[in-house]
Structures are given as C-alpha cells and as structure tokens.
Amino acid sequence: MSQNLHILQPYIIFWKQQDMIQISIVRCAQICFIFLATMLIVMLSFSLGLTTMHQAYKGGTATQEDGSVLRMKDKFSSVLETLRNLYWSFYGYLGPWEYALAVGNAGPDFKPTNHLFIVIASEVTVAIYHLVVVITLLKMMVTLLIWRGDEVQKDEDTEWKYSRSVIYAEYFDWHTALPPPFNIFFIAAVFIRQLAERCHEIILNYKGNGGPYKDVSKQIVVEEVSYQRLLAKLLRRSLLSDEYACRTAQKVDGEKCLEMLGIGADDG
C-alpha cells in the first residue's frame, strides 16, 4: 500500500503544511453557480424592460437640424441583443450615447422629435442595473464564499479524516494487507483468479445455449426470485403463527377468567 500511496505523497504533504484545511471545490463551484444563475435572472429582467421601451423605435431615423441623419441603433432591438450589451456594460462598454432615440421629424418645420422620458427611463434603468449587479450581487458572492470558507475551516478535521479514508479505500484491498514484497503472492493469486473467471465467462458465452451452459444468468435470476418468494412465504407463515398463538392465549385467558368468576363457558 505504501507504493500505491507514494504518488499521493506531495498532495498529502501540501495539505499537512496547510494545517490540513480541506476546502471543497465543489462547494465553492456551487456558490459560483448560484451567483451566475441569479445574475442571469437579473440581467434577463432588465433586458426585457429595456427591450420593451426601445422596441417601438426599432429601425427609426431622424433628420437633425444640421442635415445629418440619426439612425436608431440596434443595441436594444431584441432580448438577446440587449442581454449581450448589458453583459458587456459590466466591463464599461455601454455609455449614455447608446440611449439616443431616433423618433423622427414632426411639425410644420419638420423638426426632430425627442422622447426625453424614454431616454431618462433607460438611463435610470441601466444605472439601477449596475447598482444591483456591482454592489449587491458581487457583495453577496463574496459574503457567501467567506461563509463557506469559514464553514469548511470549522469542519477541517472531519474533512481531512474523510479525505484520508477515501484515499485509503481507493487503494486498499485484501491482497494489499501485507507490505511489499510479501503481497506479491496475494497479487499473483488475485490475478490468476480474475483471469480464470474471465476465461470461464468467455467459455460460457462461446458454448451458447447448449448443455449445462444454457442461459446461466437467467437461471440465477429465476433462483433468486424463487428464493425471495420462499422468504415471503415463510414470513407470512411466521406472522400468521404469531397471530394464532396470540388469539389462542387470549381465548385461554378469557376462559380462565370466566371460571374464576364462576361462569361456565356454556352459560355464555
């Protein structure tokens, strides 16, 4: 077993130097997954709101006073496009100029129209989105990771014992009970036995359905079912026998009580 565990020696020494603190990667990954799922739900909610506000202006154009043509950008044309832009806005790739609306021109002078309320609502929505994601969600993730780390440190002794048991169980077998080189005989015996069992299975498969080798697996299943039925039958018999004995004892006790009271069984 010492030879088998030799490959794990650097791992064991490392964790011993770290006071045997076993921080579970699965637990930390679970926290990250919960954070990402929550962040996705929040981003999807804001994406639906921004897309609803800008959907009516999709493909719009407006002629400015200087003669230039303002075209509505496709930043919020669909839910997926809005979700994509909100993701990149987390890294600073979404500015206030992205909310410019191309409403069109109206009036006798054909002046450009501006829906200021929609622009302000869009900027406020994106600002709230950044506050929620950057301040609330990131703080929640850091808090959860710290809480998980404290919990693991509290259970470090138990986790180390469990990890050590897993390491031992992975490499420990009956033929590794003796130290090398005495376990060579046991390993050779196990190898020969496994090889013989494998050859026996190949022979059974090669023989097919003839002779005594006919459908051995099915026969085993049938015998197992018959054995289970026999156990069930014996259990029912045992229960009925106990019930009969209980009723008989109650009847005998009742008759004795009647005799003690001077009432005959025939009178009743």
What pLDDT score does 30 carry?
Answer: 78
Domain count, the chain: 1
Under 8 Å between Cβ of 138 and 31:
no
Judge whether 226 lies within some domain.
no
Judge whether 187 lies within some domain.
no
pLDDT of 157 higher than 60: yes
pLDDT, tens digit (0-9, with 9 covering 90-100), for 170-209: 666 655 666 677 777 777 888 888 888 888 877 777 665 4
pLDDT of 34 higher than 60: yes
In the predicted model, what is the mean pLDDT of the chain?
73
> Burial level of 20, CB count in 10 A (0-12/13-18/19+)?
middle
Q: Which domain holds residue 100?
A: 10-163
Under 8 Å between Cβ of 1 and 160:
no
Judge whether 259 lies within some domain.
no
Judge whether 258 lies within some domain.
no
* Residue 75 Cα to chain centre, angstroms: 35
What pLDDT score does 252 carry?
Answer: 79
Residue 174's identity, in one-letter code, is W
> Burial level of 42, CB count in 10 A (0-12/13-18/19+)?
middle
Judge whether 245 lies within some domain.
no
For the entire predicted model, the pTM comes to 0.47
In whole angstroms, give the CA distance from residue 54 to residue 46. Answer: 12
Judge whether 37 lies within some domain.
yes
Judge whether 180 lies within some domain.
no
Residues in CB range of 7: below 8 A, 6 or more apart: none
Three-class SS state of 19:
coil
Judge whether 182 lies within some domain.
no
| Of 111-120, 154-163, 196-205, minimum mean pLDDT range | 154-163
